[in-house]
Amino acid sequence: MTAIATFSLVALDCPDPSELARFYGAITGWEVDGRPPELVGEDDGWVQLSAPGGGATIAFQKVPGHRPPQWPGTEHPQQAHLDFDVPDLDAAEERLLAIGARRHEVQPGETFRVYLDPAGHPFCLVLA
């Protein structure tokens, strides 16, 4: 089948795009807008990571009054979440917590773990 389009990025709403870009940049090792993290402005309303080789990436969009999703639950649904494959869940968790992630109190599986980013979005580490 011929593709209609090429997937380019997923954007997350948040109160501080620069902070969230630096957080996910630390997870992936990707640069923020091709800039070192210390040069990303606090007032930037749209910030994105630069994936190596120019592939699909993650962007962050400023939303005043942002309310984080609540998972599990439906009052403020997550609507989407990101998964990151890792070879060792314990080692990756230690590094995540050091950069500001929070482990979610609900852990429904054995081969993945649920965390919250600094803006409250759920995301998972998945055992590769």
Domain of 90, in residue numbers: 82-127
Q: What is the pTM of this model?
A: 0.79
| Residues 18 and 52 both lie in one domain | yes
Residues in the chain: 128
Residue 127 φ then ψ, to 5°: -65, 120
In this structure, what are the phi and psi dihedrals at residue 26, rounded to the nearest 5 degrees? -65, -35
Query: What is the helix (H) or strand (E) element at residue 122, kind and residue range?
Result: strand 122-127
pLDDT in the model for residue 7: 75
- Which range, of 9-13, 14-18, 21-25, 76-80, averages the lowest pLDDT? 76-80
57 and 26 in one domain? Answer: yes
- Give the chain's mean pLDDT: 86
State the Cα–Cα distance between residues 37 and 73, nearest whole angstrom. 34
CATH assignment at residue 98: 3.10.180.10
